[in-house]
Amino acid sequence: MHQITAIFEDGKSVRFSSRADEIVYQAAYRSNIRLEHDCLEGACGACKALCTQGEFRVDDYSDEALSDAELAIGYTLLCKMKAKTPCTVELPYSSRFLTAQHAPQWLDARVVAVESVSSSVKRMVVQLTAGDIDFLPGQYVHMEVPGAGGAERSYSFANMPAEQQLEFFLKVYPQGVMSDYLRERAKVGDDIRIKGPAGHFYLRALRRPILMIAGGTGLAPMLSMLRSMVRAGAADQPVHLIYGVNEASEFFNASELERLGQSLRLTVERIAVAETGWQGPAGHVTRLLRPELLHGGECDAYLCGPPPMVEAAAAWLRENGMDPARVHAERFVTTS
C-alpha cells in the first residue's frame, strides 16, 4: 500500500491508499474520492496531474494525452498511474468535487499550552478532542478565533505530521482579531476549532540543497520541515536558513535551531531590521542573499512570511536565475 496525497488547486488536500498495482484513479474511487476524468483510457488527458513527490509508472497512454516532455517533469495520468512509492499529486482544479465525507471538516480541539516566546510571538499548542488531521510539513490550517463570532485566521503547523499535539506560532499585533484573543483571553483549556490541512507550500523530496528564507512567524512551517527532516534522518543535503525579524527581541526558537543543526547539515543566519540590542547583521533578509547560496540553481527554495518579504526574496531569486518551479512560497496575507 502506498499513501497518495492529492492537493487541489485551492490548496485543500486528501490522502488515500493505493495498493501495489492498483490504478491511482481507482484507488481514489475506492476511497470514495471522485477525481476529474473522462475516457479512463489514457487518451484524453482530463485526469492529468503533476506528481511532485514519489515514483510511479504510467502505461498504455496516448502521446497526445501526455507527452514525453510532460512525463519528464512529473506529469502523470491518474487513470493509468501506478504508484511505486508514496506520492504527492497536484490537481489543476478545486476541491469542490470532494464528497462531504472528504471535504475538510471543522475539528474540535483544546488549547493545552499558550505562552510568549518572543516580544511579539505566542506559541500555542492544541490537542484535537476527536478525529485527526494529516498534513505535509509546511501546510496550514484554518483556525476559528474563540469568542470572535466565527472569525477565522490561517496558521501553519510547526509540529511534524502524526503528532498528538499541534503547535503554532502566532504573531501578536497591537490590534487584530486573533491578536486580541491571544493578548487578552487565551488560556489553557479554551475550546478552539480547526479545519484543514491546506496549502501548496510543503517540503518536496530531498534531492538538492535547500535554501529557506523565513520572516517572523514564517519560521513556523520551516520548523515543521526541519523537524521532519531530522525524524527522517535526512542529513544528506545542506540546508541554509535565513531568518529575519523587525527587532531582535522577536526572534524565537533560536536554541532549537542550534539543536537542529547538530542533526542536519543546517546553517542559520539571523538578521533584524532594527540595530537596537542586536550585534548581528541589520536589514532585510534580501541583504543576506548571495549567488553561492543557489548552488548554480541546483537547489530548492522555500520562502515564508509577510508578503513584501516573500515578493522581495522571490524577485531576487528570479533575477539570479532560479527556476520558478523550484521556488516554493507561502505569503502570510492578512484577512482584514
Number of residues counted as binding ligand FAD (CB under 6 A): 25
Amino acid occupying residue 285: V
Cβ of residue 156: shortest distance to ligand FAD, in angstroms?
4
What three-state secondary structure class fits 148? coil
Least distance in angstroms from the C-beta of 250 to ligand FAD: 11
3-state DSSP helix/strand/coil percent for the chain, to nearest 5? 25, 30, 45
How far is residue 194's CA from residue 257's CA, in Å, rounded to a whole number?
A: 27
Does 69 contact ligand FAD by CB under 6 A? no
Binder to ligand FAD among 56, 61, 140, 243 (CB under 6 A)?
140
Q: Does 170 bind ligand FAD (CB under 6 A)?
A: yes
Question: Rounded distance, CA 2 to CA 237, Å?
Answer: 25
Using CB under 6 A, pick the residue from 37, 112, 117, 173 that binds ligand FAD: 173
**Least gap, CB of 117 to ligand FAD (angstroms):** 12
Site for ligand FAD in 178-197 (CB under 6 A): 178-179
Contact 207, 229 (CB under 8 A): no
> Binding segment for ligand FAD among 59-67, 176-184, 239-247, 275-283 (CB under 6 A)?
176-184
Cell of 135: 498534513
> Site for ligand FAD (CB under 6 A): which residue of 12, 48, 82, 153?
153
The residue type found at 203 is L
For residue 182, the minimal CB distance to ligand FAD (Å) is 8
Please, are residues 320 and 294 in contact by the beta-carbon 8 Å criterion?
Answer: yes
Q: Parallel, antiparallel, or unpaired for β 210-215 and 81-83?
A: unpaired
- List of residues contacting ligand FAD (CB under 6 A): 140, 153-156, 168-171, 173, 175-179, 199, 217, 220, 306, 330, 332-336
